[in-house]
Amino acid sequence: MMDREELLRETKDELAVAQRQVLHLQQVVDGLTGLLGESGSTVATAGMAAFGGSGTLTTSTVPSGRTFLKPRDAVEQVMQSHPNTSLTPAQVFESLASRDLIDPRIKSGANAYTTALRRLADDASSHIVRDGSRYIYRAPTTVGDAMMLISQEPATYLDVT
């Protein structure tokens, strides 16, 4: 038998899943609306260097011209923007949605992004680890890890003047 806290946690998880599904449907409708006449805009995808990404971005373009990151790259970008923070798949999906990174053409919706998150956790080079039902991006802590990331991305300098 479940205690109240566990039941509340499960209920909140179910609510988050339902909210993601509604959000996904809303994005599908928005995507279809865009296909019916609005000219889409291109989303810049060059910012992965700032997040320590792999440097190989895979995108897809809807007919309206809107470009989306593939689920793996989008999830990796979100996780890297929250270093050392424990996130549930629902929280990752909400962050993806708030950044408008969810591709409405993906039929499996949130499941594609959850699968990408699981696969990233299985890939040691991603620095994403599974902690029960939560995931954490472990920022590189050694000079070797940092050098590996630096070597994968062209240098980006900020003008702070």
Q: The whole model's pTM is what?
A: 0.52
Look at residue 12 and tell me if it is in a domain.
Answer: yes
- The one-digit pLDDT tens for each residue of the chain (161 residues) are 568 888 888 888 888 887 777 777 777 666 666 655 443 333 333 333 333 344 444 555 555 567 888 999 999 999 999 999 999 999 999 999 899 888 888 888 889 999 999 999 999 889 999 999 999 999 876 666 556 655 555 544 455 54
Look at residue 130 and tell me if it is in a domain.
Answer: yes
Enclosing domain of residue 42: 4-152
Domain count for the chain, please give it. 1
Look at residue 161 and tell me if it is in a domain.
Answer: no
Sequential DSSP letters for 71-116: HHHHHHHHHHTSBT-EE-HHHHHHHHHHTT---TT-TTTHHHHHHH
Look at residue 157 and tell me if it is in a domain.
Answer: no
Look at residue 109 and tell me if it is in a domain.
Answer: yes
